[in-house]
Amino acid sequence: MKNKVNIAVIGLGHVGNYLLNELNTKKKDIEQKTGKRINVVAISAKNKNKKRKFKINKSIYFSNPLDIIKKKKIDILFEIIGMSDGISKKIVELSLKNKIHVITPNKALISKHGDYLSKLAEKNKVNLEFEASVAGGIPILRTIKEGLATNKLYKVYGILNGTCNYILSEMEKTKDNFINVLKKAQNLGYAEQGNPKLDLNGYDAFAKIRILSSLAFNKKISKKNCLMEGIENIDYKDIDIASQLNFRIKLLGITEMVNGKLFERVHPCLVKKDSYIGNVNGVMNAVIVHGKPVGESVLQGEGAGPGATSSALMSDLLSILRGNIKHPFGLHNNKRKKALIYNQKNSSNSLYLRLEVKDKPGVLSEITKLLANNKISIERVIQIPDHKKKSASIVIITHKAVEFRSQNLINGLKKNKNMIKKPILIRLF
Ligand SMILES: NC(=O)c1ccc[n+]([C@@H]2O[C@H](COP(=O)([O-])OP(=O)(O)OC[C@H]3O[C@@H](n4cnc5c(N)ncnc54)[C@H](OP(=O)(O)O)[C@@H]3O)[C@@H](O)[C@H]2O)c1
């Protein structure tokens, strides 16, 4: 690459605008570290006149980002819009085809089109970098691709969504309900104002898990449906009961190879209060990697926010400027095979069950009968009566139960006439 490097930044929102300021203020530092002089020569967003935290140079603004490729000589392009398709995919595709290196924090795009786009990057001998797409400022992808390159990884898991982790931690701290804490998270900028659904229903963490799986296990990105549950139905009551039992509730993303098959999942888990993961609170993210011969490695840090995300984007930039041209997923696309998929119905977990029932004789024995019919054995039962309402909460911790039997049990419980509310099931980790 020549010594003067032209850069384009597409998308000037929370992340893009912050990154632009980093690029403009750290030119000298970058030159000292890489010998390259960067210059931002084109920018684009949706609205030219929008008020932004850091002022933009309107003389290099393009209303249509696709024009940048035609009219300017660009070496490296940042796509920071965030769509899984549409203009985000178009601009990345066009850039790679025109031999422009691409850097993006867009997990939606990479988890959906990463295989195709990485093939395009390889064909055109340019980089496609996406460190910021998983766990914000934590350098987890580079750690897997480079630091742990020759290890055989078999499990990667962690807290991958800062919004959910903040909400769960804050519910425990303030004893408040989900809706109030979500509002607080939105006011603080930890949850999206408009539509926070993709964070709360597990989709965001799932996109990150898919990227992690393909890197950790050298596979194509899986397209199969997997176990995905969010935190929208987590009640303060469960956080409180879990706490009394020495557990915390965390939304975990987990990917592992089970007998050569890929098992990906995102769901709330009860984790021990004294475990490492049980003490990652607030907006923090953490990723834990198991491999041979390295053993267990833990990375923790800020998983979102313009600063942390820009830190990862800048690390991608320096990697390219240093001439580190490599396969986006760590090995040639032809060598990445389609993963065989583990049947999640055969997985097993201990369960936390909370059942709101009518307080009358015989109810508990009906429940234990259903458990026995599904070959699920009980480790602990707690009954909390509410005499005024003539109801009771029955909390059961089970020994390990096979997933398809757990689902049968829930279906059976739903049909039971003594059940006042939908049964709650949270898996133990
Ligand atoms: N925010 C975080 O903490 C975080 C963390 C990790 C990864 N990411 C990823 O970073 C990316 C951006 O996130 P963000 O939070 O910065 O989003 P954002 O604040 O909503 O910014 C999106 C930007 O895209 C621009 N845009 C929309 N449509 C466009 C179009 N047709 N042409 C050109 N520009 C267009 C918008 O323009 P206007 O400004 O004019 O409206 C805006 O500047 C996403 O992929 C996200 O997943 C974000």
Are the CB atoms for 344 and 265 separated by under 8 Å?
yes
pLDDT band at residue 65 using 50, 70 and 90 as cut-offs: very high
Ligand 1 touching residue 253 (CB < 6 A) = no
Give the pLDDT band of residue 369 (cuts 50, 70, 90): very high
Parallel, antiparallel, or unpaired for β 424-428 and 261-272? parallel
**How many residues would you count in the chain?**
429
Q: What is the pLDDT of residue 195?
A: 86
pLDDT of residue 250: 98
Going by CA atoms, what residue is nearest to atom 38 of ligand 1? 46
Task: Give the pLDDT score at 303.
Answer: 87
| pLDDT tens-place string over residues 217-268 | 999 999 887 899 999 999 999 999 999 999 999 999 999 999 999 999 999 9
Reduce the DSSP state of residue 221 to 3 states and report it: coil
Is the shortest distance between the CB of 301 and ligand 1 below 6 Å?
no
Show the tokens assigned to 308: 């942390």
- Atom 3, ligand 1: which residue's CA is nearest? 305
Alpha-carbon span 404 to 211, nearest angstrom: 27
Q: Which SS3 state, helix, strand or coil, does residue 18 take? A: helix
Ligand 1 atom having least distance to the Cα of 312:
6
Taking the C-alpha atoms of residue 207 and residue 135, their distance in angstroms, rounded to an integer, is 11
Query: Which pLDDT score, from 0 to 100, does residue 225 have?
Result: 78
pLDDT at 209 over 80: yes
Return the pLDDT at 401. 97
**Residue 50: which pLDDT band, with cuts at 50, 70 and 90?**
very high
Distance 45 CA to ligand 1 centre (A): 9
| Sequence-separated (6 or more) residues with CB below 8 Å from residue 143 | 289, 297, 299
- Name the closest-CA residue to atom 42, ligand 1: 13
Per-residue model confidence (pLDDT) at position 109: 97
Domain ranges of the chain: 4-129, 141-302, 345-428
Give the mutation target among 15, 47, 89 for probing the ligand 1 site: most ligand atoms within 8 A of CB. Answer: 15
Q: C-alpha distances in angstroms, 226 versus 104, 114, 203, 229, 265?
A: 25, 18, 11, 10, 6
CA-based nearest residue to 139, from 333, 355, 319, 408: 319
Catalytic residue list contains 237? no
Q: Model confidence over 312-342: pLDDT tens digits?
A: 999 999 999 999 878 999 999 999 999 999 9
The tokens for 208 are 């990150």
CATH number of 345-428: 3.30.70.260
Choose the catalytic residue: 36, 89, 107, 208. 208
Q: How far is the CA of 236 from the centre of ligand 1 (A)?
A: 33
Q: What percent of the chain has pLDDT over 90?
A: 94
Of residues 75, 118, 119, 102, the one with CA closest to residue 316: 102
- Single out the residue of 122, 128, 70 nearest to residue 336, CA to CA: 122
CA-based angle 30:32:36, to the nearest 5?
60
Query: 395 pLDDT exceeds 90?
Result: yes
| Contact between 313 and 173 (Cβ < 8 Å) | no
Fold classification of 141-302 (topology level): Dihydrodipicolinate Reductase; domain 2 (3.30.360)
pLDDT band for position 192 (cuts 50, 70, 90): confident
Protein residue with least CA distance to atom 30, ligand 1: 46
Whether 156 contacts 298, CB under 8 Å = no
What is the rounded (10 degree) CA torsion for 222, 224, 226, 228? 80
Quote the CA–CA distance of 196 and 178 in Å, as a whole number: 13
Q: Ligand 1 atom 15: the closest Cα is on which residue?
A: 14
Cβ of 267 less than 6 Å from ligand 1? no
CB 134 within 8 A of CB 141: yes
Contact 348, 403 (CB under 8 A): yes
Q: Which atom of ligand 1 is nearest to the CA of 82?
A: 45
Ligand 1 within 6 A of CB of 137: no
Closest ligand 1 atom to Cα of 47: 40
Q: Are 105 and 309 in contact (CB under 8 A)?
A: yes
Is 90 exceeded by the pLDDT of residue 135? Answer: yes
Compute the mean pLDDT over every residue in the chain, rounded to the nearest whole number: 95
Q: How far is the CA of 304 from the centre of ligand 1 (A)?
A: 13
Pocket test for ligand 1, best of 14, 18, 64 (most atoms within 8 A of CB): 14
- Strands of the 101-103 sheet, one edge to the other: 61-62, 37-44, 4-10, 76-79, 101-103, 128-129
**pLDDT tens for each residue of 278-320:** 999 999 999 999 999 999 999 999 988 899 999 999 999 999 9
129, β-bridge pairs: 103
Nearest CA owner, ligand 1 atom 29: 46
Using alpha carbons, select from 261, 191, 194 the residue that is nearest to residue 231: 191
Does 141-302 match 345-428 in CATH topology? no
The response to whether residue 110 sits with its C-beta less than 6 Å from ligand 1 reads: no
Give me the helices (H) in 289-402, please.
Answer: 306-321, 363-373
Counting from 1 in the atom list of ligand 1, the atom nearest the Cα of 109 is: 45
Task: Residue 321: name the closest of 106, 3, 24 by CA.
Answer: 3
- Distance between Cα 368 and ligand 1 center (Å): 51
Selection from 219, 207, 212 nearest residue 331 by Cα: 219
Which fold would CATH assign to domain 4-129?
Rossmann fold (3.40.50)
> Could you tell me if the CB of 307 is within 6 A of ligand 1?
no
Report the separation in Å between the CA atom of 341 and the middle of ligand 1, taken as the mean of its atom positions: 33
Q: Which of 80, 85, 90, 138 to mutate to test the pocket of ligand 1 (most atoms within 8 A of CB)?
A: 80
The Cα–Cα gap between 125 and 327 comes to 9
Tell whether ligand 1 has an atom less than 6 A from the beta carbon of residue 305.
yes
CB of 16 sitting under 6 A from ligand 1:
yes
Q: Is 56 helix (H, G, I), strand (E, B) or coil?
A: coil
The CA distances from residue 86 to 186, 197, 298, 356, 423, in Å, are 27, 20, 36, 46, 40
The amino acid at residue 227 is: L
- The reply to whether ligand 1 has any atom less than 6 angstroms from the CB of 393 is no
